[in-house]
A = this chain, B = another copy of it.
Amino acid sequence: MTVAARPPRLYWEDFPAGRVREFGSKTVTREAIIAFAREFDPQPFHVDEEAGRESLFGSLCASGWHTVAMTMRMMCDEYLLDAASLGSPGVENLKWLKAVYPGDTLRVRLEVLEARPMASRPHVGLVRSRWEVRNQRAETVLTMEGWGMFGRRPAPERA
């Protein structure tokens, strides 16, 4: 196994309710906004400068799904790739509160809301978290809540 050869550093036990992490610094370029939108969300205000100016957003802006995807990458780089992450069953209350424009720099605040063992899988725990993504003007552009599944820390082996 290549990618997952490294044993995880973080397990379900490392995400207790109340734990807060702030991380990330992702600056969005015009080119990245247009490239994502051309592939996945080619609405005029995401791919065309003039259409952006004439839209409710006032300028070319990122697809909301692009903002979520960039947030996911910041989460991966901060903790998920070091964790016994087993995926996610879903997300609730995803809100796009402000448009994300070329040159904006995004940062994430993550708070664990709830953590509990998974009844059907004793080696797995569930974590419900809230993410807030802010731009360089400290405006919140995105919030969401969601569940993650994590492996539980193995008991130490006895001699």
Q: Which residue of B lies closest to A1 (CB)?
A: B50
CB-CB < 8 A to A76: which residues of B?
41-43
Of the residues B41, B81, B87, B94, contact of A57 by C-beta under 8 Å: B87
Identify the stretch in A9-17, A67-75, A129-137 within 8 Å (CB) of chain B at 4 or more residues: A67-75
Whether A47 and B86, one on each chain, are in contact in the complex, defined by CB atoms closer than 8 angstroms, is no
Whether a CB of chain B sits under 8 angstroms from the CB of A159 is: no
Q: Which of A89-108 contact B (CB under 8 A)?
A: 89-96
Whether B90 and A43, one on each chain, are in contact in the complex, defined by CB atoms closer than 8 angstroms, is no
CB-CB < 8 A to A48: which residues of B?
1-4
Whether B87 and A51, one on each chain, are in contact in the complex, defined by CB atoms closer than 8 angstroms, is no
Whether a CB of chain B sits under 8 angstroms from the CB of A33 is: no
Q: In the complex where A42-B81, A72-B40, A76-B43 touch, is A55 in contact with B1 (Cβ < 8 A)?
A: no
Of the residues B2, B45, B94, contact of A91 by C-beta under 8 Å: B94
Q: Which residue of B lies closest to A39 (CB)?
A: B73
Contact with B along A25-61 (1 / 0, CB 8 A): 0000000000000011111110110110011110000
Of the residues B50, B57, B80, B88, contact of A2 by C-beta under 8 Å: B50
CB-CB < 8 A to A57: which residues of B?
87
Q: Which A residues contact B (CB, under 8 angstroms)?
A: 1-4, 39-45, 47-48, 50-51, 54-57, 63-65, 68-70, 72-73, 76, 80-81, 85-96, 149
